[in-house]
Structure 1
Amino acid sequence: MTSVDLVVVGAGVVGLAHAWHAARRGLSVAVVERDEHAVGASVRNFGHGCFTAQDGVAFEYAMAAREEWLKLAAEAGFWLRESGTVVVARHEDELAVLEEFQDVREIQLTDDLPVAGLKGAHLPLDIRVNPREAVHAIARLLAGRGVAFHWSTNVLTVEPGLVRTSRGEITCRAAVVAVGHDVDRFFPGLAERHEVLRCELRMLRVAHGGVVDPAVLTGFSMLRYDAFNRCPSTEKVRERLAHDHPELVEAGLNLMFTQLPDGSLTIGDTHHYGRTVEPHRPEHLDELVLTETARLLGVPSLHVLERWRGIYASAPEPFLTAAPAPLTRAVSVTSGIGMTTALGLAPAVLDDLLQEL
């Protein structure tokens, strides 16, 4: 039987964030992950630290997380770009949002655009990482510093002071369950009370010949990031896009892309919500995304290299941090911004949890 101070269930970015901060506080930590390495939402996203467009407590977590990402990239040796984000205005109402956004955040309007548009806003604090390598590099760093990883191991029950797994029991002083949308597998009543759903997003990787250093957001993105809601003109953008592109707005399109180190672009993404995600999705939604992205890039068509779907937790509140049992916390980022905020959220969770010890 293994004994540690803290067991973390889940080796995605939320779980690793808690392991990182706990280890830095001198706690002994074990991470239990059902797969042989992280394969969920933490490796299926844009790799975009979209700090500037968050609002409220999410903005606080995001800005704290930014500093941690820089530390981790330096210590773990993974690729990170501090190239920011360009939000492109392709319509006068979108330009009005960007002009209003200058009163919300310290940004600069720019004519230096990597795509076609009237004007853009550069958000200099945002970052990019390669999500296909970053979480794995963090796990290796933590393992090298004494965090015990139990890969390919299912957690059966989480009880105060004890985590039962498919490979044996681990005694602990405290536990953090960071399994994203699968929180309902462990604590179904808690998930129901917090109205946790699964959000399926569809993404693609396409070939591209040029260099686009910043992440690129569009008017569709303005409808999905909370800080833009402070801008009065955002509602005009919403109304126009709903009129001109009803199917894309209904599908929750966030038309954006980021570039991977090999030059290809990660593009997307559409969203579909439900307690259970159905396996079949219509191809025409991907075709619409490809068409809109090609128009954004000013090219006739795009060559698809990969397609995939991600699934993350969604709920009315952006974060679920609950105590289903003594010395236990269930933690999910329920707003699709886990990469952006988890490293800032984890210290607040640990502060609260360790008060019980």
Structure 2
Amino acid sequence: MQYDLAIIGSGIVGLGHAWAAARRGYSVAIFEANPRPEGASIRNFGMIWPIGQPAGSARELSLRNQQLWRELGKAADFPVETCGSVFLAHYEDEMQVLKEFAGSACSRDLDLKLLSPAETLQHLPAANPNGLVGGLYSRTECRVHPPTAITSIVSCLSDLPNVDLHFETPVVRVHDGSIQSVEGKSWSADRVVIASGAYFKHLFPKQHRDQQFKICKLQMMLTVPQPEQWKLGPHMASGLTLRHYSAFDICPTLTQVRQRVATTMPELDRYGIHVMASSTPNGELILGDSHEYGDDIEPFDKEEIDQLILREIHKVLQIPQTSIARRWAGIYAKHPQAMYCVKEIKPRTYLVNGFGGNGMTLSLAVSESVIEQLEDIKNLEIPENSF
């Protein structure tokens, strides 16, 4: 079988490329070793998170990405909720960072409002009022339920006449447009996108190593359903989260926040812990998370990490049902400098990876930008693009 585009990997990056190509009329094949998508794309908060992206290209992509999620939600029949987000400040230095960010030119393309303690509780009634200094509300952020969204996208693509899905088909070789499976079957494509996420050691390991991707492991949890009358509302991020997203690096007081945490709570830095929460359609809360990199990653989760996350969650949120129904680890690949990487690694074969924790926030827009440069898919080369 001959395709215009073959994609290795069925996470949101691979699915994004498939959707962008299929809606332009290209013939597309997706190859996935597992029976279904099982990686980081179904193991996250479901946050579409422009506020965390630095101003410039990344922010522009994130805002376009939101539009594409809404279009894809309609096409694949899953909800995309514009829920907004609230950053909580329980320390004066955290509130100062929020003021610096909201007052900077880097936030002009966001719809932000600084909040007093009383206003914060109006926007996020679950916020812990003890020690609450204020907050920052952003109307921009969206929410999907990752397992539902990814399953719906796969189903939508499977119904398209120009898309073939090859699940349970481990690919062992890609060369000059030829794709070969472990069972000896072969297919051909004019272009091949390698979107293998954290599992990049199976195909082109040297080319992936050349990009110096880091593997990151996150521990996350899901509560039991909350009472029906109780709602979290917007995404929640605590002041600890300011340390994690590069959008806030422009704020002078962020150094003070980092120094305070490093001095008073070094255990949080040890495991890269900051705390966020998001709701699911069934009324549960997704809680997290931690960040362990490279040689620090073990196959076993650490109860200490979960307890530290819960400790910090309870400082900033008042949750009626705190029992944990599920725990899991997400693993993703992160580029050491760029927000993502698109690179031709062999003729007609392209590596698209390294999104870190920004896959849900950037990948649809990046996929669109790649496919847009393939108007003549058999002749036009894709320029490398990373920032």
Normalising by the smaller structure, the TM-score range is over 0.9
CA deviation after TM superposition for structure 1 residue 294, in Å: 1.9
CA deviation after TM superposition for structure 1 residue 277, in Å: 3.8
CA deviation after TM superposition for structure 1 residue 352, in Å: 4.6
Task: Report the aligned-residue RMSD.
Answer: 1.7
Match of 1:158 in 2: 174
Matches within 5 A, 1:200-215: 200-207=217-224, 208-209=226-227, 210-215=230-235
Match of 1:259 in 2: 279
Alignment partners' CA distance in 1, 2:316 and 2:36? 35
| Cα-to-partner distance string for 1:56-92 (whole Å, 9 max, x where unaligned) | 4322221111110011111211122101111111111
Are 2:355 and 1:334 aligned? yes
Match of 2:381 in 1: 356
Q: Which runs of 5+ in 1 are unaligned?
A: none
Q: Which runs of 5+ in 2 are unaligned?
A: 383-387
Alignment partners' CA distance in 2, 1:36 and 1:297? 38
Are 2:326 and 1:306 aligned? yes
* Bigger proportion of residues as strand: 1
TM-score (norm 2): 0.88
Match of 1:315 in 2: 335
Match of 2:209 in 1: 192
Are 2:152 and 1:137 aligned? yes
Q: Contact 1:314/1:334 (CA < 8 Å) preserved in 2? A: yes
CA deviation after TM superposition for structure 1 residue 233, in Å: 1.3
Most deviating of 316-325 and 292-301: 292-301
What is the DSSP-based 3-state SS (H/G/I as helix, E as strand, rest coil) of the residue aligned with 2:345?
strand
Alignment partners' CA distance in 2, 1:205 and 1:14? 24
Matches within 5 A, 1:1-357: 2-55=1-54, 56-102=56-102, 103=104, 104-105=106-107, 106=110, 107-110=112-115, 111-113=119-121, 114=124, 115-116=127-128, 117-146=132-161, 147-167=163-183, 168-207=185-224, 208-209=226-227, 210-274=230-294, 277-298=297-318, 302-316=322-336, 317-352=338-373, 354=377, 355-356=380-381
Q: Contact 1:291/1:301 (CA < 8 Å) preserved in 2? A: no
CA deviation after TM superposition for structure 1 residue 125, in Å: 1.1
Alignment partners' CA distance in 2, 1:179 and 1:269? 23
Alignment partners' CA distance in 1, 2:243 and 2:236? 15
CA deviation after TM superposition for structure 1 residue 301, in Å: 7.9
- Residue identity matched to 2:2: S
| Cα-to-partner distance string for 1:7-42 (whole Å, 9 max, x where unaligned) | 011111000000011112211000111111111100
| Cα-to-partner distance string for 1:81-105 (whole Å, 9 max, x where unaligned) | 1011111111111111111111231
- Residue identity matched to 2:168: S
CA deviation after TM superposition for structure 1 residue 303, in Å: 0.8
Give the share of equivalent positions with the same residue, in percent. Answer: 33
Alignment partners' CA distance in 1, 2:296 and 2:196? 16
Alignment partners' CA distance in 2, 1:299 and 1:78? 27
Q: Contact 2:47/2:142 (CA < 8 Å) preserved in 1? A: yes
- Residue identity matched to 1:285: I
Alignment partners' CA distance in 2, 1:180 and 1:275? 18
Instruction: Give the total of aligned pairs.
Output: 356
